[in-house]
Amino acid sequence: MDNPEGHEIQILYSQIDTNEDGETVFTDYNFQLNNQNYFYPASTVKLPAAILALEFTDNTTFLSPEIDYIIEGDTILHNFNDDVRQIFAVSDNEAYNRLYEFLGRDFINNQLRTKKISPVRIGHRIETENAAEQERKKIKFLTKRNVSIKKDGSLESIYVEKTLKGKGFMKDSALVSEPMDFSEKNYYPLKAQHNTIKRLFFEKSFAILERFNLSPASKIYLKNVMSNPPRKLGYDKDKFNDSFGKFFIYGDSQDNIPEGMKIYNKVGYAYGTITETAYIEDTVNDVKFILSATILVNENGIFNDDEYEYEEIGIPFLAQLGREIYMHEMKRKTVN
H or E element, residue 302: strand 302-303
Decide if 60 is inside a domain: yes
Predicted TM-score of the model (pTM): 0.95
Decide if 294 is inside a domain: yes
Q: How many domains does the chain have?
A: 1
Decide if 2 is inside a domain: no
Q: For position 152, what pLDDT does the model report?
A: 73
How are beta strands 168-171 and 174-176 bridged, if at all? Answer: antiparallel
Q: For position 157, what pLDDT does the model report?
A: 61
- In tens digits, the chain (336 residues) has pLDDT values of 889 899 999 999 999 999 999 999 999 999 999 999 999 999 999 999 999 999 999 999 888 999 999 998 999 999 999 999 999 999 999 999 999 999 999 999 999 999 999 899 999 999 998 898 888 888 888 875 666 666 676 666 667 889 999 999 999 999 999 999 999 999 999 999 999 999 999 999 999 999 999 999 999 999 999 999 999 999 999 999 999 999 999 999 999 999 999 999 999 999 999 999 999 999 999 999 999 999 999 999 999 999 999 999 999 999 999 999 999 999 998 876
CA 62 to chain centre: 28
Decide if 161 is inside a domain: yes
Decide if 243 is inside a domain: yes
Q: For position 174, what pLDDT does the model report?
A: 97
Decide if 81 is inside a domain: yes
* Residues of the domain holding 277: 10-335
Q: For position 336, what pLDDT does the model report?
A: 66
Q: For position 81, what pLDDT does the model report?
A: 98
Q: For position 155, what pLDDT does the model report?
A: 62
Amino acid identity, position 12: L
Decide if 5 is inside a domain: no
Q: For position 134, what pLDDT does the model report?
A: 86
Q: For position 331, what pLDDT does the model report?
A: 94
Separation of alpha carbons 111 and 272, rounded Å:
29
Q: For position 132, what pLDDT does the model report?
A: 87
Q: What is the CATH number of the domain that holds 224?
A: 3.40.710.10
User: How far is the CA of 255 from the CAs of 88, 251, 278, 290, in angstroms?
Assistant: 19, 10, 19, 23
Phi/psi of residue 58, nearest 5 degrees: -65, -25
Residue 64's Cβ-side half-sphere holds a number of Cα atoms within 13 Å equal to 7
170-174 long-range contacts, CB within 8 A, separation 24+: 170/302, 170/303, 170/304, 170/305, 171/304
Decide if 3 is inside a domain: no
Phi/psi of residue 79, nearest 5 degrees: -145, 160
Q: Do the Cβ atoms of 310 and 297 come closer than 8 Å?
A: yes
Q: For position 235, what pLDDT does the model report?
A: 96
**Which alpha helices (DSSP H) does the chain contain, by range?**
46-58, 80-90, 93-114, 190-201, 216-227, 315-335
Closest CA to 196 of 49, 315, 325: 49
Q: Do the Cβ atoms of 33 and 12 come closer than 8 Å?
A: yes
Q: Is 219 helix (H, G, I), strand (E, B) or coil?
A: helix
